[in-house]
Amino acid sequence: MKPHLLILSGFLLLPATAQELLPPPTGTSPLAVATSEAADIYRSVVRIEVATQVSDYQTPWNSGRFGGGTGSGFLIGPNRFLTNAHVVSNARRILINERGSSVKHPAKVVHVAHDCDLAILEVEDPAPFTGLKYLEFGDVPPLESQVRVIGYPVGGDRISVTRGVVSRIDFRPYSHSQVDSHLVVQIDAAINPGNSGGPVLQEGKVVGVAFQGLRQADNTGYMIPTPVIRRFLKDVEDGEYDHYVDLGAAEFPLFNPAMRKALQLPDNGLGVMVASVTPTGPCDGVLQAGDVLLSIDGKPIDNAGNIDVEGEKVVLHEIVERKFQGDTVNLEFQRGGEQKQATITLTSFPAARIFALSYGERPRYVFFCGLTFQPLDLNLYATHQFSNPRVRKTYQNYVKDSIFKEREDVVILTRVESDSLTSHLGEFAGTVVEEINGQKISTLDQVHELLYADDQPEFITIKCEGSPRPIVIPAAEAKDANKRIMQSNGIYLPFYLDKPSSDSR
Partner 1 sequence: MNLRPLFFLLLPLLLLGSGSLAAAPDADEAGLIRINATIQTYSPAQPWERNNPSRRRGLGAVLHDLRILTTAEMVADTTYLELESADGTRNTPAKVVAVDYEANLALVSPLDPAQCAWIKDIKPLQTNGPVNIDEQIDIWQLEDNGNALRTVGTVRSVDLLSSFVEGHFFLSYEVKASMQGSSSSYTLPATRNGKLAGILTSYDSKDQICDVLAPEIIALFLQDVADGNYTGFPSLGVATVLTEDPYFRSFLGLNDEQGGLYVSRILPGSGADESGLQEKDVILAIDGNPLDRRGYYLDQRYGRLFWTNLITGKKKVGDSITLDIVRDGATKSLTAALQRRVEPLIPSHIHDQPPAYLIKGGMVFQDLSQQYLQAFGKDWQTRAPLNLLDALRNPEDYEEGRNRLVFLSRVVATPATIGYDQIASLIVTEVNGHPIKDMNSLAEAFQHPVDGLHTIKIDDIPYVLYLDATLSDTVDQQLLQSGLPALQRLPE
Query: What H or E segment, with its residue span, contains residue 331?
Result: strand 328-335
The rounded Cα 101 to chain-centroid distance in angstroms is 32
Residues at the interface with partner 1 (CB under 8 A): 250, 252-259, 261-262, 273, 275-276, 289-290, 387-390, 392-393, 396, 400, 421, 423-425, 459, 461, 466, 468-470, 472-474
Active-site residue 125, yes or no?
Answer: no
Residue with smaller CB distance to partner 1, 152 or 404: 404
Marked catalytic residue, from 115, 117, 180, 235? 117
Catalytic residue among 44, 55, 72, 196: 196
The catalytic residue among 55, 72, 86, 180 is 86
Minimum CB–partner distance for residue 240 and partner 1 (Å): 34
- What's the number of CA atoms in the CB half-sphere (13 Å) around residue 47? 21
Q: Can 401 be counted among the known catalytic residues?
A: no
Contacts of 375-380 spanning 24+ positions with Cβ under 8 A: 375/409, 375/410, 375/411, 375/412, 375/444, 376/409, 376/410, 376/411, 376/412, 376/432, 377/353, 378/178, 378/179, 378/354, 379/55, 379/57, 380/57, 380/412, 380/414
Our answer to whether residue 86 is catalytic in this structure is yes
Alpha-carbon gap, residue 263 to 260, rounded angstroms: 5
Task: Please state, in angstroms and rounded to a whole number, the distance separating the CA atoms of residues 380 and 474.
Answer: 29
Instruction: Report the residue number, 326 or 466, with the smaller CB distance to partner 1.
Output: 466
E-assigned strand segments in 60-197: 65-77, 80-83, 91-97, 104-113, 118-123, 146-151, 160-173, 181-187
Query: b/e for 112-124, b at 16 or more Cβ within 10 A?
Result: bbbbbbbbbbbbe
Give the number of other CB atoms < 10 A from CB of residue 385: 8
Provide the minimum distance between the beta carbon of 49 and partner 1 in the complex, in angstroms, as a whole number. 39
167 vs 437, beta carbon nearer partner 1: 437
- Minimum gap (Å) between residue 479 Cβ and partner 1: 15
Do the Cβ atoms of 73 and 46 come closer than 8 Å?
A: yes
Q: How far is the CB of 473 from partner 1 (least distance, A)?
A: 6
Give 77 or 269: the residue with its C-beta nearer to partner 1: 269
Q: What are phi and psi of 116, to 5 degrees?
A: -125, 15
Q: Which residue's CB is nearer to partner 1, number 83 or number 276?
A: 276
Q: What is the C-alpha to C-alpha distance for residues 318 and 344, in angstroms, rounded to an integer?
A: 15
Residue number with CB closer to partner 1 (98 or 291): 291
Q: Report in angstroms how near the CB of residue 469 gets to partner 1 at its nearest.
A: 5
Q: Measured in Å, how far apart are the chain's first and last C-alpha atoms? A: 37
Beta-carbon count within 10 A of 441 CB: 21
92 or 424, CB closer to partner 1? 424
Q: Which residues are catalytic?
A: 86, 117, 196
